[in-house]
């Protein structure tokens, strides 16, 4: 009897999958969004809470961050706020109702972070939580000539340095070269740049990208010194997947290698018929170094979107909710020194506390990204 029941359930699953595959994309998209959101909501109905407290970098008081769930990106938030990574303290498990209610005595902090999905986003937004992308993408419009794309004086300076070294480029196409890039360049570069906050790539992921991508290698004389792995996103779009240089040494950045690799990637993409290049994902912090590097190359920020790619939903778990105590000096300090990017009606905004617009970010404001000073928020609201 048990074997018969299992066989029957398996047959039902196969039938449902076949029926699902025959549905129009728009219908399947809605079904998959609902399914993913339901699974995620049930999985996160009770979430672990973690508490971080430390002195602020200016030694003017303390700040607290409370976050739910286990997201590796939380390390970047605490590192950016306090200037270093801090081991969190566990507070136990809390239900979604307790989190949304906001009345539990233990669930108070200067900044509170919680993972979201398409179903739970409206619930949090109605309670004055900000919807924050885990990452933002930055696209370069390759329909323009490269000399019109690169208008930043910083980028032009980097290219002048690169041209003095006269790098040579090749597209490498063998597994041995990919292994050398991964172990001798990519891993050392990630570890050197991000240290304890580093999200180390996996070789199998790099191999998967390489199967439908291109590895542009840079040589100085006869030495292979760095490479840029590009992933094809579609018929007209290509993405910067991974970039690394020999031993992760910062000397190569000073020698304009990164600028040289990006410039060559623009050239290759244009020659091969691509009209946009995704320079990759960055943290949702206006002052984030990697984000500003991309902006100086003429990139435009776009928020992550829940989308249907090759029959699969992507991006459904790419947002967190953030609640700020605006009466807190720690929150004000954080937003003054690190304006953040949130998402309203599918558009990015930069929220801050009396912060000045960074030079590299002014173009994004001109393109329609709103600069929101939360210091002007009504005093009747203690959190927003």
- From CA 21, how far away is CA 298, in angstroms rounded? 40
Q: In the structure encoding, which two tokens stand for residue 220, read together?
A: 């100085």
Q: Is 227 among the domain residues?
A: yes
Q: What is the pLDDT of residues 196-231, one digit of tens each?
A: 666 788 899 999 999 989 999 999 999 999 999 999
Q: Write down the mean pLDDT value for the chain.
A: 85
Q: Diameter of the chain by CA atoms?
A: 77
Residues in CB range of 205: below 8 A, 6 or more apart: none
pLDDT for the residue numbered 192:
85
In the 3-class helix/strand/coil scheme, how is the chain assigned residue by residue?
CHHHHHHHHHHHHHHHHHHHHHCCHHHHHHHHHHHHHHHHHHHCCEEEEEEEEEECCCCCCEEEEEEECCCCCHHHHHHHHHCCCCCCEEEEEEEHHHHHHCCCCCCCCCEEEEEECCCHHHHHHCCCCEEEECCEEEEEECCCCHHHHCCCHHHHHHHHHHHHHCCEEEEECCHHHHHHHHHHHHHHHHHHHHHHHCCCCCHHHHHHHHHCEEEEEEEECCEEEEEEEEEECCCCEEEEEEEEEHHHCCHHHHCCHHHHHHHHHHHHHHHCCCCEEEEEEECCECCCHHHHHHHCCCCEEEECCCEEECCEEECCCCEEEEEEECCCHHHHHHHHHCCEEEEECCEEEEEECCCCCCHHHHHHHHCCCEEEEHHHCCCCCCEC
Q: Is 166 among the domain residues?
A: yes
Q: Is 214 among the domain residues?
A: yes
Note whether 284 and 133 are within 8 A (CB): yes
- From CA 281, how far away is CA 305, in angstroms rounded? 12
Average pLDDT over every residue of 150-177: 92
Q: What is the pLDDT of residues 55-90, one digit of tens each?
A: 888 767 899 999 998 877 788 888 888 888 888 999
- Between residues 155 and 352, the one the model is more confident about: 352
Q: What is the pLDDT of residues 240-267, one digit of tens each?
A: 999 999 999 989 999 999 999 999 999 9
Q: Is 201 among the domain residues?
A: yes
Q: Is 263 among the domain residues?
A: yes
Strand 307-309, strand 168-172: pairing: unpaired
Q: How confident is the model at residue 304 (pLDDT cuts 50, 70, 90)?
A: confident
Mean pLDDT lowest among 72-86, 148-162, 302-316, 356-370: 302-316
Q: What percent of the chain has pLDDT over 90?
A: 56
Is the pLDDT confidence value at 379 over 50?
no
Q: Is 14 among the domain residues?
A: no
Q: By C-alpha distance, which of 226, 243, 242, 210 is closest to 169?
A: 226
Specify the pTM.
0.81
pLDDT for the residue numbered 114:
94
Note whether 265 and 216 are within 8 A (CB): yes
pLDDT for the residue numbered 217:
97
pLDDT for the residue numbered 332:
94
pLDDT for the residue numbered 13:
42
Strand 62-68, strand 111-116: pairing: parallel
Domain that holds residue 200: 144-274
Q: In the structure encoding, which two tokens stand for residue 239, read together?
A: 């993405």
pLDDT for the residue numbered 214:
95
- From CA 64, how far away is CA 53, in angstroms rounded? 4
Q: How confident is the model at residue 111 (pLDDT cuts 50, 70, 90)?
A: very high
pLDDT for the residue numbered 265:
95
Strand 168-172, strand 213-220: pairing: antiparallel
Residue 223 CA to its chain's centroid (Å): 33
Q: Is 248 among the domain residues?
A: yes
What is the number of structural domains in the chain?
1
| CATH number for 168 | 3.40.630.30
Is the pLDDT confidence value at 309 over 60?
no
Residues in CB range of 349: below 8 A, 6 or more apart: 341, 342, 343, 369, 370, 371, 372
Q: Is 205 among the domain residues?
A: yes
């Amino acid at each position: 009897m048990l074997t018969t029941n299992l066989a029957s359930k398996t047959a039902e699953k196969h039938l449902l999958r076949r029926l699902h595959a025959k549905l129009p994309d728009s219908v399947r998209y809605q079904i998959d969004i609902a399914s993913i959101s339901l699974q995620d909501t049930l999985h996160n109905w009770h979430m672990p809470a973690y508490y971080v407290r430390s002195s602020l970098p200016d030694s003017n008081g303390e700040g607290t961050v409370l976050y739910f769930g286990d997201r590796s990106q939380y390390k970047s938030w605490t590192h950016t706020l306090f200037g270093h990574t801090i081991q969190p303290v566990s507070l136990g498990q809390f239900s979604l109702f307790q989190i949304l209610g906001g009345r539990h005595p233990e669930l108070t902090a200067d900044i509170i972070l919680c993972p979201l999905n398409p179903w739970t986003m409206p619930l949090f937004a109605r309670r004055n939580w900000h919807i924050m992308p885990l990452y933002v993408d930055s696209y370069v419009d390759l329909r323009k000539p490269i000399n019109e794309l690169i208008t930043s004086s910083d980028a032009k300076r980097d290219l002048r340095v690169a041209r003095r070294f006269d790098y040579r480029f090749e597209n490498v196409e063998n597994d041995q070269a990919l292994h050398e890039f991964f172990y001798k360049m990519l891993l050392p570069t990630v570890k050197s740049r991000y240290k304890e906050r580093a999200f180390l790539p996996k070789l199998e992921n790099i191999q998967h990208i390489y199967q439908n991508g291109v590895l542009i290698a840079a040589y100085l004389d006869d030495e292979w010194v760095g490479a840029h792995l590009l992933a094809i996103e579609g018929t007209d779009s290509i993405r910067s997947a991974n970039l690394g240089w020999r031993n992760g040494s910062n000397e190569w950045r000073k020698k304009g290698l990164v600028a040289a690799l990006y410039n060559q990637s623009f050239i290759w993409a244009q020659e091969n018929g691509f009209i946009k290049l995704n320079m990759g994902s960055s943290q949702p912090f206006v002052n984030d170094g990697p984000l500003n590097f991309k902006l100086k190359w003429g990139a435009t920020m776009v928020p992550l979107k829940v989308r249907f790619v090759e029959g699969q939903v992507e991006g459904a778990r790419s947002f967190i909710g953030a609640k700020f105590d605006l009466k807190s000096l720690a929150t004000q300090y954080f937003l003054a020194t690190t304006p953040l990017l949130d998402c309203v009606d599918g558009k990015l905004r930069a929220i801050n506390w009396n912060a000045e617009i960074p030079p590299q970010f002014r173009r994004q404001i001109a393109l329609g990204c709103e600069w929101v000073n939360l210091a002007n928020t009504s005093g009747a609201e203690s959190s927003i």
